[in-house]
Amino acid sequence: MNYTLHQLVIFKKIAETQSVTKASEQLFLTQPAVSIQLKNFQDQFNLPLFEVVGRKLYITEFGSEIAKAASKILEEVEAINYKSSLFEGKLAGKLKIAIVSTAKYAMPYFLSGFVKKHSMVDVTMDVTNKMSVIGALENNECDFAMVSTIPKKLKIERIELMKNKMFFVAGRDYHPHKKEASLKDLNKSLFIFREKGSATRLAMERYLFKHKIEIVRKMELTSNEAVKQAVIAGLGISIMPIIGMNEALKNGDLQIIKIKDLPLETNWNLIWLKTKKLTNVAQAFQHYIIENKDEIIENEFKKYNNSTKY
């Protein structure tokens, strides 16, 4: 047999996705290239690795065993690469971060310079809601989490990153009765909420309750991007973090509703368990953030601190 590591990577991904098309997309390869490598890999075995029924691909029992073996081989290769880098004095290993969905507009900027500097560091970033992020942290499934609300039940350490401002936003065709809307103007609106467990939803619910705003109609969506698109489409209004809305505001697709006691302000934090024994990679990232966060915030997020201009 003369299969290559490249073929192992491709077959492992096909086994995971049960699809040549999905595998090619996730590996950033063309579908014909993946199909050719799959055929070349299959030709080295007497038993079928897969079968096609109708238009769907199924991995055989033998194929599943080969996929498991491929996964183990690739893990060992990864370990060899890490060990080689360590002996060369390079930082190598994995960094796992869990972030709330809105933080996806910020965390890549805090990671970018670190990843470019350390080419042998692999990053896994799980984007979900606040409850799931805290669960991942509590269960030791990640090194760090990025949140705007500090969990009260966990003993954590933190690095304060940047402000998180939230405004009431509406589509371009929303016209309140006055230049500045009153709370009564909102009563007949359809309110678009994030799902339960979201920090943004909690902030919105607290604001509406505090100001006794009547919720006659509401919609619930599971991501900030979905909420943004729904608001742009004119379905309703929502309280949303300013980060991630800059272009839509500039283009006039969204408008900020000027109203009492807004914006709401919290702070983004990088947090980790106080009892967590950080790996060398995690320690290096922690030091990188401490040393570079002010410069990153100034260069990348100054526009959000001046968001009252909208």
CATH (domain of 12): 1.10.10.10
Q: Which of 54, 87, 120 is the last residue of a domain?
A: 87
Q: Are residues 303 and 251 in the same domain?
A: no
Query: Tens place of pLDDT for every residue, the chain, 310 residues?
Result: 788 999 999 999 999 999 999 898 888 889 899 999 999 999 999 999 999 888 889 999 999 999 999 999 988 887 777 677 666 666 778 899 999 888 888 999 999 999 998 888 889 888 888 888 999 999 999 999 999 888 888 899 999 998 888 999 999 888 765 556 777 778 778 999 988 878 888 889 999 999 888 888 899 998 888 999 999 999 999 998 888 888 888 888 999 988 888 888 888 999 999 999 988 889 999 999 999 999 999 888 876 655 545 4
Q: Does the bond joining 263 to the residue before it have cis omega, within 30 degrees of 0?
A: yes
155 and 184 both lie in a single domain: no
State the residue for tokens 């300013």: 242
Q: What are the φ/ψ torsions at residue 255 (nearest 5 degrees)?
A: -135, 145
Question: How many angstroms separate the CA atoms of 154 and 109, rounded?
Answer: 27
Same domain, yes or no: 146 and 186: no
With residue 61 as reference, give the H or E element that holds it. helix 61-87
Residue type, 148: S
Q: Is residue 54 a contact partner of residue 24, using CB atoms and an 8 Å limit?
A: no
Cα–Cα distance for residue pair 32/108, rounded to 1 Å: 32
Whether residues 168 and 260 share a domain: the answer is: yes
Same domain, 145 and 291: yes
Residues 205 and 67 in one domain: no
- Both 171 and 259 in a single domain? yes
155 shares its domain with 294: yes
Q: How many domains does the chain have?
A: 3
Indicate whether 147 and 286 sit together in one domain: yes
Contact yes or no for 58/51 (Cβ under 8 A)? yes
Question: Per the confidence metrics, is the pTM higher than 0.85?
Answer: no
Q: Which residue has the tokens 């990025």?
A: 146
Residue 293 in contact with residue 106, Cβ under 8 Å?
no
**Is the domain of 169 the same as that of 248?**
yes
Contact 11, 66 (CB under 8 A): yes
